[in-house]
Amino acid sequence: MYRTRLGGKLDGDVLAYVSSMADDAAIARHDILGSIAHTVMLSESGLVSRKDASAILGALLAIKPGSLKGGGGAEDIHELVEAKVVARAGDAGRRLHTARSRNDQVSLDIRMKLRDDINSISALAAELVGALLKVASRHTKTVMPLYTHLQHAQYGTLSHYLLAYADSLLRDIDRLASAYGRIDCSPLGASAIGGTSLKIDRRRTAGLLGFGGIAENSIDATSSRDHVAEYAADIAIMMSGLSRMAEDLVIWSTSEFAFIELGDAISSPSSVMPQKKNPDVLELTRAKAADAIGQLVSILGASKGLATGYGRDLQQAKIPAWRASQTAAGALAVMRAVILGMSVSKDGMARATSSGYLDALEVAETLVADNGVPFRDAHGVVARLVRMAHDAGVGLGELDAGQLRKAQAGIRIPKGALVRAIAQAGPQKALQRRKSRGSAGFAEQSRMLRSRTAALGAARKAISRRERVVSRAYRVLEQKARRLSSG
Ligand code: ARG
């Protein structure tokens, strides 16, 4: 439609190469809505007559976004929508692109889609947090080992672990909410790069589309994609967290650990080994996190070397952004199913706490708390005990009086204190005693569950508030367009 200067049609292979039609299906509806808002504003500003606006709006409303697939020779959705409007509304349609460029248009569509994606992905993330809290509430007394370097570290509770990932996801939701504020600015009216001499009202189109504000500087509005990179970074960060959780669950579901058994509905069989129940969904979550990181890198790579102003490179940055949304939506839904469907072996977890000297730090801290022993001394004594017990292949409680005496040689510890400390060191007593804020201690579990449930409620409210602003704006805009097109 724009080839007057060039003459002739675009070569077929070149059209396939430059076309963004396949990726534009995702922004078809946004493109039409953006055009509707633009037309309403043009009419209100007196740049297009009521009659012409009415014809254009009628044509825009008649387009079914889902039908805009093939492209019919158009290079992108913007050209195709305009061509359809011209075909239907005739000369009036030739006024649609007044005071507008595909550069502000595509930037608008991307921002509108990312608003939707942030809302739907945040809602899915909130669902996963809900699942984590639900399972956590059943396991506030389920003891397990905590690991550092994947070596036994301290006694823990399963709820504490699940709450850790709830916190991580709540931060992901928060990060997306913050990015939303920067994305929720309308670039429409920036034109190709430098604005327009026609008297448009940029705030009006922004308002009609439910934007919180405008991306003011027309150079910035058309040529920056930092908000797209920011979105992809937030997704990559979230996926990295999910990947770590997936890795834990893969390990926990091995026969060696046997902490959990994955639900049948999410497990994969082997084509040859009849006994297999494989955690493929978790493995894919790990690998898809790598995709998400790659998507961020693609976006940054496509934009980092661009001379200021729109360059077609930016078209390529849409693809990884869309992919990031797809990846995250799939992973969040699947991880929720995994969490809700897994069965937990309390016995398996409890059994694992009896080996690996998880009581070592408990004994040392008891000596500090009850007997005022300097921590470094307590650490030294218990380390000696662990060494002796390890060599003898027994637990700390099985060492004899002579060994205990030997371990505390040269360190001032009241008589009997070490025996008492060891006797108090089981997981139940230790987790009863552990009170530090945010710890694995039993008391902290119920407090954190309550506070995260409240945080989840607030996050859900904020998400639906944002969804309502957008859907209401679109509804009102479409009603207005229908009225104007029939009037
Ligand atoms: N299809 C293009 C994109 O996705 C739209 C903008 C084209 N603008 C241009 N001046 N060639 O980025």
- Summarised one tens digit per residue, pLDDT across range 81-136 is 999 999 999 999 999 999 999 999 999 999 999 999 999 999 999 999 999 999 99
Taking a C-beta distance cutoff of 8 angstroms, is the pair 427, 395 a contact? no
Name the nearest CA neighbour of 426 among 193, 95, 155: 155
| CATH number of this structure's domain 103-352+448-472 | 1.20.200.10
Which of 310, 313, 316, 318 should be mutated for ligand 1, with most atoms under 8 A from CB?
A: 310
> Is a pLDDT exceeding 90 seen at residue 10?
no
Does the beta carbon of 315 sit less than 6 angstroms from any atom of ligand 1? yes
The answer to whether 149 is a known catalytic residue is yes
| Distance in angstroms (rounded) separating the CA atoms of residues 482 and 7 | 37
Does the beta carbon of 312 sit less than 6 angstroms from any atom of ligand 1? yes
Predicted model pTM? 0.95
> Is a pLDDT exceeding 80 seen at residue 272?
no
> Is a pLDDT exceeding 80 seen at residue 299?
yes
| CATH number of this structure's domain 12-98 | 1.10.275.10
Does the beta carbon of 314 sit less than 6 angstroms from any atom of ligand 1? yes
Does the beta carbon of 225 sit less than 6 angstroms from any atom of ligand 1? no
Q: What is residue 139's predicted lDDT score, i.e. its pLDDT? A: 98
Which residue puts its alpha carbon closest to atom 12 of ligand 1?
Answer: 315
| Distance in angstroms (rounded) separating the CA atoms of residues 337 and 401 | 52
Q: What is residue 326's predicted lDDT score, i.e. its pLDDT? A: 98
Q: Tens of pLDDT along 121-177?
A: 999 999 999 999 999 999 999 999 999 999 999 999 999 999 999 999 999 999 999
Domain ranges in the chain with CATH number 1.10.275.10: 12-98
Q: What is residue 65's predicted lDDT score, i.e. its pLDDT? A: 86
- Ligand 1 atom nearest the C-alpha of 77 is 1
Which of 3, 5, 103, 319 should be mutated for ligand 1, with most atoms under 8 A from CB?
A: 103
Q: Which whole-number Å values give the CA distances from 346 to 129, 145, 244, 342, in the listed order?
A: 22, 12, 22, 12
Domain ranges in the chain with CATH number 1.10.40.30: 359-425
Catalytic: which of 149, 255, 271, 343?
A: 149
At residue 274 the predicted structure's pLDDT band, cuts being 50, 70 and 90, is: confident
Calculate the average pLDDT of the chain.
Answer: 95
Name the nearest CA neighbour of 282 among 259, 248, 257, 240: 248
> Is a pLDDT exceeding 80 seen at residue 276?
no
Residue, of 422 and 3, whose pLDDT is higher: 422
Domain ranges in the chain with CATH number 1.20.200.10: 103-352+448-472
> Is a pLDDT exceeding 80 seen at residue 481?
yes
Q: Tell me, in angstroms, the distance from the centre of ligand 1 to residue 78's CA.
A: 8
Q: Tens of pLDDT along 40-86?
A: 999 999 999 999 999 999 999 999 988 887 777 889 999 999 999 99
CATH topology for 359-425? Ribonucleotide Reductase Protein R1; domain 1 (1.10.40)
Catalytic: which of 49, 268, 270, 451?
A: 270
Q: What is residue 349's predicted lDDT score, i.e. its pLDDT? A: 97
> Is a pLDDT exceeding 90 seen at residue 379?
yes
Among the listed ranges 86-100, 350-364, 466-480, which one has the minimum average pLDDT value?
A: 350-364
The phi, psi pair for 310, rounded to 5°, reads: -60, 135
Q: What is residue 9's predicted lDDT score, i.e. its pLDDT? A: 80
The residues that bridge with 213 in the sheet, in sequence order, are 185
Query: What is the pairing mode between strands 260-261 and 343-344?
Result: antiparallel
Among the listed ranges 89-103, 197-211, 400-414, which one has the minimum average pLDDT value?
A: 400-414
Long-range contacts: 339-342, Cβ < 8 Å, 24+?
Answer: 339/128, 339/131, 339/132, 339/135, 339/162, 340/131, 340/134, 340/135, 340/263, 341/262, 341/263, 341/265, 341/266, 342/135, 342/249, 342/253, 342/260, 342/261, 342/262, 342/263
| Distance in angstroms (rounded) separating the CA atoms of residues 468 and 434 | 44
| Distance in angstroms (rounded) separating the CA atoms of residues 211 and 213 | 5
Taking a C-beta distance cutoff of 8 angstroms, is the pair 208, 474 a contact? no
Does the beta carbon of 100 sit less than 6 angstroms from any atom of ligand 1? no
What is the pLDDT averaged over residues 345-365? 94
